[in-house]
Amino acid sequence: MTGTRETIAAARSVVVKIGSSALTSMAEGLDVARLDALADAIEARMRRGSDVVVVSSGAIGAGMAPLGLRRRPQDLATKQAAASVGQLALAHAWGTSFARHGRTVGQVLLTAEDIARRANHRNAQRTLDRLRSLGAVAVVNENDTVATTEIRFGDNDRLAALVAHLVGADALVLLSDVDGLYDGDPRKDPAARLIPEVDGPEDLDGVVAGSGGALGTGGMASKLSAARLAADAGVPVLLAAASDAASALAGGPTGTVFAARPTRLSARRFWVRHAADTSGGLTLDAGAVEAVVGRRRSLLSAGITSVTGSFDAGDVVSLHADDGTPVARGVVAYDSSELAGMLGKSTSDLAPDARRPVVHADDLVAV
Ligand SMILES: Nc1ncnc2c1ncn2[C@@H]1O[C@H](COP(=O)(O)OP(=O)(O)O)[C@@H](O)[C@H]1O
Ligand SMILES: N[C@@H](CCC(=O)OP(=O)(O)O)C(=O)O
C-alpha cells in the first residue's frame, strides 16, 4: 500500500495554501523574496507534471502598511479596507513572481456563497479548470471586501480544503510559519514534539491546537479542521513550513501528513456536511438522534420536537439534539410551514402525501 507521503509526492493535482504569516511581516508588509521562493517551488512542481492551484492569504497583512495600520485590524470594515488595498498588491506580486518563469497568473476571489450555491460552484469550477488548461496558475483568496461576518469562509485553511474538493485535487499542501503539527504550540512550549503523520483521530489525542500568530487567522485548530474536511473529500494533506516549500513540494521528508478517509464522502454528502448554507434547524428527541446518528436511519416527523427558521423543501437544515448540540445536517423534504403541523406525529397519522421521511438517510450526514 502506498503511504500518505508518497501519495502527496505523486499527486497530479495539488492545491497549495500559503498563510499570511509566511508571506507578510508586521514591519515590512509583503515579503517579495519569500513570494519568489514559493513561486520557484510551485513552478518546479508544475514542470514535473502537476497542476497547481494556489490559495494565498496575506491581503490584510499586505494592506496594513500602506494604510498606516500598525496592528492587524479587528473590526470587519477596517479588515475589508486593508484587504482591498492588500489584494491588489498581493495579486500583482504573484503575477511578477511567476512572470520570471513566463507563467501567467489569474486571480480568483471567492465567497462562501460561491461554494454553497451549486450554480456558482460550477462557475468557479469551470474558471479554475479553464485557467489550468490554458497553462495559467490560479491564485485564489476569499473575496474579503464583500464577505460579511455571517457568510465568511472564516479562514483560508477551510477555503483551501473546499477548493481542493472543488477541483478534485489529489493533495492539499498547507504552508505556514510552523514546520508541522506539534503536540502543543511550539511558540509557548519549547518541549512540544512534531507529529510526522496523522492517520486518524486517535493520533490527535492530547494534542493542543493553539491560536495563530499576530498575522494568521485560525491557528492550528483551523488547520486541523481543514485537514478533516479534506480527509472527508478523500484528499491527503501536508502541513509544512513555507520556508521548506521546495522540499515539501518535491516529496521531501518534511512536515506533518494527514491521511485521507479510505472511502471519501459522495460529492452530495460532502456538500451537505461542509459547504451548503443551512436555512434553519430541527430539534430531535433522543430516540431520533440515536436513529439518525447511531443507526443511519431517515428522520421521521415523530422524532422532531421543534422547527427553527424558515426554509423550503430541498434546503439544507441543521439537526440538533434537545440540548442544542448540532448532530447532523440534511436536505429537508418539506417547507418549514408544512412541517409545523407534522411535529411528533407518527407516519400513519399523516396525510398520504406527507408520509415520506422528513430527511432521507441518503441526504443526511452526521457532523
Ligand atoms: N499544536 C500546534 N502545532 C503547531 N503550531 C501550533 C500549534 N498550536 C498553535 N500553533 C501555532 O499556529 C501558528 C500557525 O497558524 P496561523 O498563524 O493561523 O498560520 P497561517 O497564517 O499560516 O494560517 C503557528 O505559528 C504556531 O505557533
Ligand atoms: N483572506 C485573508 C486571509 C485570512 C486567513 O485565513 O489568513 P491565514 O490564517 O493567514 O491563512 C487575507 O488575505 O488576509
221 known member of a binding site: yes
Q: Answer whether 30 contacts ligand 2 (Cβ < 6 A).
A: no
Residue 244: predicted pLDDT: 97
Q: Answer whether 156 contacts ligand 2 (Cβ < 6 A).
A: yes
**Substitution site in 158, 176, 215 for ligand 1 pocket (most atoms within 8 Å of beta carbon):** 176
Give the mean pLDDT of 67-88.
93
How far, in Å, from the CA of 59 to the mean position of ligand 2? 7
Confidence of residue 29 (pLDDT cuts 50, 70, 90): confident
Confidence of residue 27 (pLDDT cuts 50, 70, 90): confident
Q: Are 162 and 229 in contact (CB under 8 A)?
A: yes
Q: Looking at the predicted structure, is the pLDDT value of residue 338 above 90?
A: yes
Smallest CA separation from ligand 2 atom 2, residue:
57
- The enclosing H or E element of 87 equals helix 76-99
Number of CB atoms found within 10 A of residue 337's CB = 11
User: pLDDT of 55-71, one tens digit each?
Assistant: 999 999 999 999 999 88
**Substitution site in 155, 157, 173 for ligand 2 pocket (most atoms within 8 Å of beta carbon):** 155
Centroid of chain to Cα 192: 26
Residue 163: predicted pLDDT: 95
**Model ipTM value:** 0.97
176 known member of a binding site: yes
Ligand 2 atom at shortest distance from the alpha carbon of 21: 10
Burial class (CB in 10 A: 0-12, 13-18, 19+), 1: exposed
- For the chain, the straight-line distance linking the first and the last C-alpha, in angstroms and rounded, comes to 29
How far, in Å, from the CA of 333 to the mean position of ligand 1? 42
Q: Looking at the predicted structure, is the pLDDT value of residue 151 above 70?
A: no
User: pLDDT of 198-254, one tens digit each?
Assistant: 999 899 999 999 887 777 677 899 999 999 999 999 999 999 999 999 999 999 999
**Substitution site in 57, 80, 178, 223 for ligand 2 pocket (most atoms within 8 Å of beta carbon):** 57
Confidence of residue 1 (pLDDT cuts 50, 70, 90): low
Bridge partners for 9 per DSSP:
none
Number of CB atoms found within 10 A of residue 313's CB = 12
Ligand closest to 159 (CA) is 2
Q: pTM for the whole thing?
A: 0.89
User: pLDDT of 259-307, one tens digit each?
Assistant: 998 888 888 888 888 877 788 999 999 999 999 999 999 999 999 999 9
Ranges of beta strands (E only) in 111-168 are 137-142
Which residues line ligand 1 at a C-beta cut-off of 6 Å?
Answer: 19-22, 57, 176-178, 181-182, 184-187, 207-210, 212-213, 216-220
Ligand 1 atom at shortest distance from the alpha carbon of 20: 21
51 known member of a binding site: no
Cell numbers of 303, please? 422524532
Ligand closest to 190 (CA) is 1
Q: Answer whether 218 contacts ligand 2 (Cβ < 6 A).
A: yes
Burial 156-175 (b: 16+ CB within 10 A, else e): bbbbbbbbbbbbebbbbbbb
Residue 63: predicted pLDDT: 95
